[in-house]
Structure 1
């Protein structure tokens, strides 16, 4: 005998019951025009009336999401708008983090920007807009940045966690479909307008010189209607928002360098460092050091404009045409002030009362938890002022034709051309930095025994007579991506319980990433010390900017934060360059006014920088059979196969160099650059099967099993031809760096198995558990290969350098080493003094052509396909409504484990295959709703995860420590049309900390602040 209540879930024909997206779209008052949902929408039967469905309120939104989950084939989760034009979060990424298995990466303003699904990073999640692949202008990466899209026009998010033959490839973690409204799918006219005021508390934690407005506006509007007996539909929506925020970071700019113990035993010297300077020095394993400490405060101003226009024409019930255009403009400008001290690989002390460098061991790696550098009171302490400005513009035009040829056959054609471009948005370029140095720093000690990196520098104080500009960079970055895509889908009903789906797709993607950096390392100064004394430098309490981070109030911490003005520094630097020739240019006359202005400006084009261009052409073909078994326990089966073929052509412009110059205390630059261009190709093809099965064990209990194969394409930055050398990466005793790519890289391949059970024990209430297993092969890893290049030698080597060392000058005293060489070998080939005004600090050039110079070693980072491993995990989620009280609660927890781990007990040059993004995550949401009030409180937590495998130019880990955030929203309705809303974000005022191989290797501490939005929405 059949279960008595099964029939209420089978009241539609089986082929209609098997259309999850069509059913969810009905409940959401819209039908998507994209490839993912189109073929299901066409199969809807006439009794699926939209007239009885109204999506309003938190509970109705959750009901729709439950229906999507329950009626889908495969594992699908989603979020549906409470009402058209009202999404439950202020940011799409922050909405998705409420879904089991989904966690987010936050940008510098604290907003969610990119998503990780089941431990698979953002670059391996395919993001669709109404079923269409969207371009991402984020350099060489594929990850979609949700910060570019406002949530106002979005009506639903669908997250497909299992492979589907009909879905575009690339979503190993998930395929995420962002859906917007369609006017002919809505049975009423909709017109609404919303306004909000955003108040960001993080702005109050910035110096007055860079503070922005604390209160900023947001406005949105939506209009949708149908005319001419519902044969013509028009929908227009738009939104504008502006936000100012503050971001304060205490960090290490160049990471922690890890190298094996090459000499020395306990109590003896290491690389020329006296034994008395070292405490607990290891006798085996690896030892680390950091090069610098930096304290940065940043104001970020984001201005976002989104809009969409949709025109639909349905000349008959069997034919419907849709034309739409989406526009998204996101302008981001920021001003930053940074104070920093450079140590290099210094294990100095305990001279002049400074403590010895003290090591703490974690595994095979020993870190200097106390690291001391002894200076003579003339070392440079850097204060930089910076401006950053970029604009991202997305334009997407699409056309869709849906034709119901007969009762059995439906055909749909979808095409779009979409382009995203991120370009500089300032006369000073996308990144502009000017360094003001204070030359009176003495002994400095770093303490890494707190969450906060504590710097002690007794005697350091501002003296305008000891200042000069020492470095500058004006950089232009361009990222441009275009996607042209055509998709043809067909659905044919073989009978009541059988359906065939088939499709053909063509995608052409063009990606360009270009960069040119007008960088000058004038570490000797643009003019003598004191020539910038008329430039005002404000002083603040440094700990006051980091009050949320434990350890910021440490009594050992240097207390002052210096704030120079960017425009004043640049103006004075231009004047100085007309009187004193910049040291990075070597000997010669001062610059003219025009030359000086160009010296402190971005270069006019990209011909002297890097220019990477990749064309990716893909052809796909798929077929799928859906069948329903009307058995004692009703079952559904879908079997599909997708064929994917991709061809890649990658061209890159890189710069080759002919010489080197040790031109400043720590710096070695590459000289004689000329541009070269080269092209490489690659291709691959795959057959990707998928199987989805589900069964109704009882009327309330459903079990599922899915198997599918998917691929994740390499990032564009990993497919570049040619070797790109970093012209400013060399140091007097450290390797240079560079990178190269390979367009013949294979995609990452994942075989996925999912098992789940869902128990719907009451209306709108359920518990579910799912296990997933991914076998990943051809994983992308980074290896560092050491290489040398003809003509590029290490100037800090050879006969003159050896003579300086033989004279008793330590290897970590580059200033004294240079002085010795200048005093004894000036005028010899490769040695030239350019400024002898201070005999204790001679300035000049030491070229790689000096006698006996050894080749400069470069660490070249190279991508490769490595071994595979597994990702496995468990998802637990629940939702409970407390009857008709209006109270409800939902939550989830995701466990993820993988053998793709970073090996912390290794050097910076070892090959690594750690999977970025693997972490446990949890959400808990409680709410109350009645006819007037709606209140929601949400907590999101993410455990520690590997955020990056490469830090700088070495192969080092970047771990993000556990982080949780509390958000709340309160809504109040005045009648049917007016709603007041208050959103309270980051109520716990959390901060985000990152570390290296151990927690003492602090890499970053980002502190933002709470954010409040107060607004109203009126529906006409």
Structure 2
């Protein structure tokens, strides 16, 4: 969306500053004095005659945008059509003060956080139009309710500019309480020349070489892009066509926990903890909270991404007063990966010296964390080896129409309409994500150490024995996200005079969102057939430490030495053969037909099946705004914009839920819900807001500008928080562990943010400036996550009835569910609700239903949402840019400090409700460059401080903090003649890793390693 400015007459500098100017500028003048002293008196005049191109042109355009805009606007402008400063749009935006990025598993920037406000609350526009987004939870977590736009789907090659509007304005669409980000593409009638160019690159990703051979993709992959734009018929007709294709292979190695760290209140009885002898524990807390890990995993992923972007624009201007534009934008992003994971289960198992293993040792503090935790296993426990495939395809399409009519010198209208879709769906016969679980049944005592950056697992005696392997589970997920945006915007501008302008507009937006997930999940924990039935499946072995060579601790002698790599296709083929011969424990060990066995290990295609998720939300918004822009022709030139926006939204949510009739304790630790039938729950909501905004700026001198802005904006809830019914997780319950579920409310209010901004900018030389700004956001109606414990009629805990109590009375302890089940089968095997199906490894197989006598209701922890009180976000931004005369050298940088009361309370248990703001962090950038007629060289360092990345892990309401991270990038361009440019982009030169932790830095959640990336290519301009 265009934001026209009232032109201002430049006045010569005055000999004396107005007293207000002195008061407003003394801080900036002090900070800029040293930089300004480097400029000779004639430098500014000589710079005026320089022909600016490339990096300098891009920075000059960004400075002009910042200086002449109403409110606080920062941007990045392409160095040339088809040449954006970075290879990724998100990575370009991180150079802007206050903007931080989230990186995906391959280390590439994908989503942005602005001034501490996360990706879900930043509005992304394409040429002023709201863009749809389709996000699915990666791996096996199902549908997603995120509103965050994934910039990894868009190539930077056809982008002409990025504009980041940090202040609320009446004419800007709502939804971006952090910022409104406008992505602009080239328009042929806006260009003054024909543009035709083509570029090619070779992409080498070092991370590929750090993978096992079976997962490695191509080390060198291609990128190609091109653009053609021209005008005809005396500039009455314009055509622009652009396109790009890129393929990338990469890898990531991650040491992590999938099921998180469980935080619980202190509880100790009679010198023991939950049956753990006191001698096994060192420094166990006597008050406060303690935590423990549930599992430790080492995962390696080989990823292949293929991205195709294209845009076509047709413009027709029959007169100078009338212009029509029709455009189509398409993006297809295909991502496929192979994943191998090795894992050990711990849970609340605190072993130690009494078992001949290291003591479980806790840190001190309000939340005590074990930096040494030992699990006691008898030498037959299962060590996990998972093989997975991930495949999804995202298709983005946007068709738009715009008519701009200048009725007179005073009056003009702009009509814009578009239909845009984004859909992410499975791209494999195995669904979005598929995994086969191969277990090695010879694990003994295992210890986790958390005193290194890399989590260290020690398991003496563990070695591969093909005769002790079995497939213990399989998961095939089909996840779908489909969103459509239909939008019409009418805008009128009326100039009352040279100093006054009225703006008014109407907008109608319909957003239709669907997020669905279906899974074929089987927990055959006792195996499929006898142990050794998978001995012919190839399993390669690699050195575990060598896969994490960049993370401190990889050479720790305590680290288990081997990483096992099974073959997914061979595992699935053998599992089908075994299911045909032996059946599976989930089907009562009754042999399956060939067709049934193949369907058993395949992805579902029906999102209406019991247990599936299907969320459907329709948002209809009507908006209207009025804005008055005025320029004061006074001794100090000033501008003011006063606006008011009306926003009314209705929400209709229809989500599929499954009603269950019973429960089944079908394996040692597993309880599942049975008798599921699908239905839909429906709810609706509505909210209306009046959103005022005021922007003021003053040119205290021809070099010094000050600004003040106030505005109110809203950020809409995620789609997962507006579900129409309560969805129970059929496989979430465990032995003596509650089940889980989720519920939403479409009547939730959006977040409301009152924003105040103050800034001063000193443009002391051409292309050079320093700036400082302060911002304050008062956020209310924040959406709080809370967990409510409840029960449902007919759903009982099978491990609670008369038979269960009899087993305990016989002397069996509660921590031996295998022996309890054996007791029930042996003593009550002929009773109703108890069915024995077989014996495997000395453990009786079968079902114990929730209908057996005396069972108690099964508790469910239901995650729900409500509006909370909120808090504030405040911060400071510092910017500078300096050109060293005509030398060709320049430097720019920024630092952003952000603080908020919306923090996670670490001193609580995992069930306590939390209302923090995700993404708040300090950030900094430093960019240096040199450019002349032949060379263009740029180096950049980006740093982001620690931030809260998520509020839940696999164990409940627990924080995930991403630790401080910095990255060094560089680019080198060499021009040959007028038309050919050679280019090299060097990314992640410092080869950093990303680490995440929980409530304390010892609670390691993830340590992710990728690698350096090099792109070498050329661009030819015709």
TMscore range, shorter length: over 0.9
Relative to structure 1, is the Cα distance of residues 451 and 799 closer, same or farther in structure 2, using a 3 angstrom cutoff?
A: farther
1:259 and 2:264 correspond: yes
1:240 and 2:268 correspond: no
CA RMSD, Structure 1 to Structure 2 (Å): 1.6
Aligned equivalents of 2:1008, 2:669: Cα separation in 1: 28
Q: Name which of 114, 124, 129 aligns with 1:127.
A: 124
Using the TM superposition, give the Cα deviation of residue 182 of structure 1 relative to its aligned residue in structure 2, in angstroms.
Answer: 0.3
Using the TM superposition, give the Cα deviation of residue 662 of structure 1 relative to its aligned residue in structure 2, in angstroms.
Answer: 2.1
Aligned equivalents of 2:450, 2:826: Cα separation in 1: 39
Q: Name which of 190, 193, 203 aligns with 1:188.
A: 193
Using the TM superposition, give the Cα deviation of residue 868 of structure 1 relative to its aligned residue in structure 2, in angstroms.
Answer: 1.4
Q: Name which of 64, 67, 71 aligns with 1:67.
A: 64
Relative to structure 1, is the Cα distance of residues 351 and 656 closer, same or farther in structure 2, using a 3 angstrom cutoff?
A: farther
Aligned equivalents of 1:1005, 1:597: Cα separation in 2: 36
1:690 and 2:687 correspond: no
Partner of 2:379: 377
Aligned equivalents of 1:742, 1:914: Cα separation in 2: 19
Aligned equivalents of 2:840, 2:716: Cα separation in 1: 57
Partner of 2:204: 199
1:731 and 2:728 correspond: no
Aligned equivalents of 1:662, 1:649: Cα separation in 2: 38
Alignment of 1:205-354 (within 5 A): 205-264=210-269, 268-354=271-357
Aligned equivalents of 1:808, 1:133: Cα separation in 2: 65
Secondary structure at the counterpart of residue 842 of structure 1:
strand
Using the TM superposition, give the Cα deviation of residue 291 of structure 1 relative to its aligned residue in structure 2, in angstroms.
Answer: 1.5
Partner of 1:602: 603
1:971 and 2:973 correspond: yes
Partner of 2:914: 912
1:87 and 2:84 correspond: yes
| Greater displacement, 845-854 / 214-223 | 845-854
Aligned equivalents of 2:242, 2:644: Cα separation in 1: 38
Partner of 1:927: 929
What's the TM-score, normalizing by structure 1?
A: 0.94
Aligned equivalents of 1:211, 1:467: Cα separation in 2: 26
1:897 and 2:899 correspond: yes
Using the TM superposition, give the Cα deviation of residue 857 of structure 1 relative to its aligned residue in structure 2, in angstroms.
Answer: 1.4
Aligned equivalents of 2:834, 2:369: Cα separation in 1: 37
| Greater displacement, 122-131 / 444-453 | 444-453
Aligned equivalents of 2:727, 2:13: Cα separation in 1: 60
Secondary structure at the counterpart of residue 348 of structure 1:
coil
Q: Name which of 617, 622, 630 aligns with 1:619.
A: 622
Secondary structure at the counterpart of residue 11 of structure 2:
helix
Aligned equivalents of 1:803, 1:544: Cα separation in 2: 51
What's the TM-score, normalizing by structure 2?
A: 0.93
Aligned equivalents of 2:189, 2:365: Cα separation in 1: 63
Partner of 1:573: 575
Secondary structure at the counterpart of residue 570 of structure 2:
helix
Measured against aligned partners, the alpha-carbon deviations of 1:379-416 in whole angstroms (never above 9, x if no partner) come to 11110100010000001000000000001001010000
Aligned equivalents of 1:953, 1:914: Cα separation in 2: 18
Partner of 1:700: 703
Unaligned runs of 5+ in 2: 1-7, 15-48, 136-143
Partner of 1:145: 150
Partner of 1:45: none
Using the TM superposition, give the Cα deviation of residue 955 of structure 1 relative to its aligned residue in structure 2, in angstroms.
Answer: 1.2
Partner of 2:140: none
Measured against aligned partners, the alpha-carbon deviations of 1:891-919 in whole angstroms (never above 9, x if no partner) come to 00000000101000011111111110011
Partner of 1:41: none
Secondary structure at the counterpart of residue 163 of structure 1:
coil
Measured against aligned partners, the alpha-carbon deviations of 1:952-971 in whole angstroms (never above 9, x if no partner) come to 36211111000000000000
Using the TM superposition, give the Cα deviation of residue 53 of structure 1 relative to its aligned residue in structure 2, in angstroms.
Answer: 12
Aligned equivalents of 1:409, 1:740: Cα separation in 2: 50
Using the TM superposition, give the Cα deviation of residue 555 of structure 1 relative to its aligned residue in structure 2, in angstroms.
Answer: 1.1
Relative to structure 1, is the Cα distance of residues 827 and 342 closer, same or farther in structure 2, using a 3 angstrom cutoff?
A: farther
Aligned equivalents of 1:812, 1:968: Cα separation in 2: 57
8 Å contact kept, 2:483–2:512 = yes
Partner of 1:18: none
Using the TM superposition, give the Cα deviation of residue 654 of structure 1 relative to its aligned residue in structure 2, in angstroms.
Answer: 1.2
Using the TM superposition, give the Cα deviation of residue 5 of structure 1 relative to its aligned residue in structure 2, in angstroms.
Answer: 10
Q: Name which of 167, 170, 173 aligns with 1:165.
A: 170
Partner of 2:946: 944
Aligned equivalents of 1:371, 1:793: Cα separation in 2: 34
Using the TM superposition, give the Cα deviation of residue 282 of structure 1 relative to its aligned residue in structure 2, in angstroms.
Answer: 1.4
Measured against aligned partners, the alpha-carbon deviations of 1:139-194 in whole angstroms (never above 9, x if no partner) come to 31100000000000000000000001110000100000000000011111100000
Using the TM superposition, give the Cα deviation of residue 769 of structure 1 relative to its aligned residue in structure 2, in angstroms.
Answer: 0.2
Aligned equivalents of 2:984, 2:752: Cα separation in 1: 44
Aligned equivalents of 1:346, 1:66: Cα separation in 2: 59
Using the TM superposition, give the Cα deviation of residue 837 of structure 1 relative to its aligned residue in structure 2, in angstroms.
Answer: 4.7
| Greater displacement, 685-694 / 56-65 | 56-65
Measured against aligned partners, the alpha-carbon deviations of 1:800-824 in whole angstroms (never above 9, x if no partner) come to 3333334444433333333333344
8 Å contact kept, 1:299–1:334 = yes
Secondary structure at the counterpart of residue 344 of structure 1:
coil
Secondary structure at the counterpart of residue 65 of structure 2:
helix
Alignment of 1:373-522 (within 5 A): 373-522=375-524
Aligned equivalents of 1:698, 1:173: Cα separation in 2: 31
Aligned equivalents of 1:367, 1:827: Cα separation in 2: 46
Relative to structure 1, is the Cα distance of residues 706 and 888 closer, same or farther in structure 2, using a 3 angstrom cutoff?
A: same
Aligned equivalents of 2:646, 2:577: Cα separation in 1: 64
Using the TM superposition, give the Cα deviation of residue 295 of structure 1 relative to its aligned residue in structure 2, in angstroms.
Answer: 0.6
Measured against aligned partners, the alpha-carbon deviations of 1:330-388 in whole angstroms (never above 9, x if no partner) come to 0000110001111222223334411222211332x112221111111111111010001
Aligned equivalents of 2:979, 2:102: Cα separation in 1: 36
Aligned equivalents of 2:675, 2:91: Cα separation in 1: 48
Alignment of 1:771-790 (within 5 A): 771-790=774-793
Partner of 2:32: none
Unaligned runs of 5+ in 1: 11-51
Measured against aligned partners, the alpha-carbon deviations of 1:699-742 in whole angstroms (never above 9, x if no partner) come to 11100000000000001111011111111111212221111110
Aligned equivalents of 1:338, 1:178: Cα separation in 2: 38
8 Å contact kept, 1:55–1:61 = no
Aligned equivalents of 2:753, 2:837: Cα separation in 1: 59
| Greater displacement, 999-1008 / 88-97 | 999-1008
Measured against aligned partners, the alpha-carbon deviations of 1:641-668 in whole angstroms (never above 9, x if no partner) come to 0000000000011112122222222222
Using the TM superposition, give the Cα deviation of residue 771 of structure 1 relative to its aligned residue in structure 2, in angstroms.
Answer: 0.2
| Greater displacement, 432-441 / 54-63 | 54-63
Secondary structure at the counterpart of residue 442 of structure 1:
strand
8 Å contact kept, 2:372–2:450 = yes
